[in-house]
Structure 1
Amino acid sequence: MYKPRVLLAAAALILLLVLIVSHASSDAHIREQLRVKQQHADELSDYVQQLAVEATSFTDESLPTPAQLCTNNTLTLAIVVPFRRRDEHLQVFLPWMRRHLLTEHAVRTQEWSKGKADPLKKPICRFAKFVVVEQADNLPFNRNWLLNIGARYAHETYAADVVALHDVDTLPMDGVSYLTVPPLPLQLSAELDRIGFIPASPHHTGGVNLLQYAQLVSVNGFSNELDDSAEGKNFFKRLQSVGWLHNAKVMNRPPVGEGRFFTLSSRFHNTHSKTIYDDSGLVKSIKGWFSNPLEDVVGPMQADGLSNARSNLKELVEVSEDTVLLRVVPQ
């Protein structure tokens, strides 16, 4: 006869094996669910890409710039787009954005004619340019650096008071406003189709941001050194450090329903982000992020950002009357 201890040990071993197999099966099931969801999201984005191409193929005329949209002031908007090897996206982005800006302007004009102007919303009356900044090398894609270069160029060349810092694969739906001066830096793309139009995590600042150029200067823009897995968090802390957040723990966003965007097909994502490793091989931007005090950001902020973003301009292309393309490489 088996001793009780032997039986108990055997039973425990069998139970452990069952749990391991069950856990592995559960993990496999979860992975399969995630794979199917991602496949569905990709298929939807492919479909949206096709619809967007068809919708914009009829209205591809550039805007006369600078476009004078009202006479209340001379506040000027430029839309800055970091770019590399996304031609399929750019071909949709430009006509889509032209249509969106003209539609927003028409709706606003109609509201004003009916005496419905909101006195708390300061209008932007001029549109300068789409400033597309292309990284013209094969180094890892550095979105932050391109945004710094593009925003500074837009301000110095076109006197842009307000800049929309805009991913090329992210397109606004009706209700998103670009033609109102944000009192605080604003993440416009708060609700994305890929996550069910649910507001993004509190610290997320990627996608599309609208802010006054002076506000960007006050935080020295974006870090030129961090990879894109941490760039948003760093920008959030920069805004937090100088009091540009209405709620210090959450990124400023438009009211629910006014920050809805859809994203174009990821099949055209050919960029590779900048990643920096320390001596131990860990990603510098991630290690210790959540334990780093705010003052750890404020110091480097003054030495790393808009003020020291350097580039060599390889080519300047007037794509159309309303669009300029800067091909740049690091200096």
Structure 2
Amino acid sequence: MLIAVAEAGKREFNRATLMNIGALESAKLYPYDCLVFHDIDLLPEDDRNLYACREQPLHLSVAVDTLGYTLPYKNIFGGAGAISVEQFRRVNGFSNKFWGWGGEDDDMANRIKYHGLSISRNPANISRYTMIRHYKDKPNPLRFALTCSP
């Protein structure tokens, strides 16, 4: 089942809160055991990139065209990722303190590591995505200061 969550109004964007709300609301509909969080601007290129949970959280968007189909840095869990409900609870979901663009995905990567989990990935030739071109907000200048350390 696909559940899309969007903010209303003119307030500053909080992606992490939206994802937490999506996880909570989906649990009211059905007892899911796997959550997939996916940026709306990413289109998968390869149908071998299965959207399913594993023993460890799975970063799905390993190779994105706008990033030259390379992983920009090792500790990334942004774009698209799959995490079991048990793992999501273990890391206490996403931090709601990230307003504006950026930081919540790096914070999640740190939470994953802090709680004894690791980020798994499919090979880059399978985990390929095209990003739909769009206007990007300016990054939150506090995003690095707000990110928890692993």
TM-score bucket (shorter structure): 0.7 to 0.9
Change (3 A) 1:288 1:149: closer
Please name the residue that 2:28 is paired with. 156
Residues 98 and 146, structure 2, Cα contact 8 Å, conserved in 1:
no
Q: Does 1:200 align with 2:72?
A: yes
Between the aligned partners of 2:29 and 2:139, the Cα distance in structure 1 is 28
Q: Does 1:209 align with 2:81?
A: yes
Count of aligned pairs between the two proteins: 148
AA paired with 2:16? N
Between the aligned partners of 2:83 and 2:49, the Cα distance in structure 1 is 14
Residues 142 and 273, structure 1, Cα contact 8 Å, conserved in 2:
no
Please name the residue that 1:255 is paired with. 123
Residues 38 and 79, structure 2, Cα contact 8 Å, conserved in 1:
yes
* Distance apart, 1:195 and its partner CA: 1.5
Residues 97 and 146, structure 2, Cα contact 8 Å, conserved in 1:
no
* Distance apart, 1:156 and its partner CA: 2.4
Between the aligned partners of 1:256 and 1:152, the Cα distance in structure 2 is 31
Between the aligned partners of 2:67 and 2:43, the Cα distance in structure 1 is 15
Alignment of 1:290-329 (within 5 A): 293-294=149-150
* Distance apart, 1:293 and its partner CA: 4.9
Report the TM-score, using the length of structure 2 for normalisation. 0.87
SS of equivalent to 2:32? coil
Between the aligned partners of 1:215 and 1:183, the Cα distance in structure 2 is 9
Change (3 A) 1:132 1:273: farther
AA paired with 1:162? C
Residues 140 and 274, structure 1, Cα contact 8 Å, conserved in 2:
no
Please name the residue that 1:264 is paired with. 132
Alignment of 1:167-186 (within 5 A): 167-174=39-46, 175-178=48-51, 180-186=52-58
Residues 4 and 22, structure 2, Cα contact 8 Å, conserved in 1:
yes
Superimposed CA distance per residue, residues 261-301 of structure 1 (whole angstroms, 9 cap, x where no aligned partner): 1111215x5xx5794xxxxxxx4432386xx754xxxxxxx
Change (3 A) 1:176 1:139: same
AA paired with 1:240? K
AA paired with 2:114? S
Report the TM-score, using the length of structure 1 for normalisation. 0.42
Change (3 A) 1:181 1:288: closer
What RMSD in Å do the two structures reach over aligned CA positions? 2.2
Residue in structure 2 matching 1:141, options 6, 13, 36: 13
AA paired with 2:130? F
Q: Does 1:166 align with 2:24?
A: no
Bigger Rg, structure 1 or 2 = 1
Between the aligned partners of 1:207 and 1:156, the Cα distance in structure 2 is 25
Between the aligned partners of 1:212 and 1:260, the Cα distance in structure 2 is 22
Please name the residue that 1:230 is paired with. 103
Aligned-pair identity (%)? 27
Please name the residue that 1:244 is paired with. 117
SS of equivalent to 1:133? coil
Change (3 A) 1:189 1:259: same
Residues 70 and 124, structure 2, Cα contact 8 Å, conserved in 1:
no
Between the aligned partners of 2:42 and 2:142, the Cα distance in structure 1 is 28
Between the aligned partners of 1:235 and 1:214, the Cα distance in structure 2 is 15
Unaligned runs of 5+ in 2: none
AA paired with 2:143? S
Change (3 A) 1:285 1:201: same
AA paired with 1:169? D
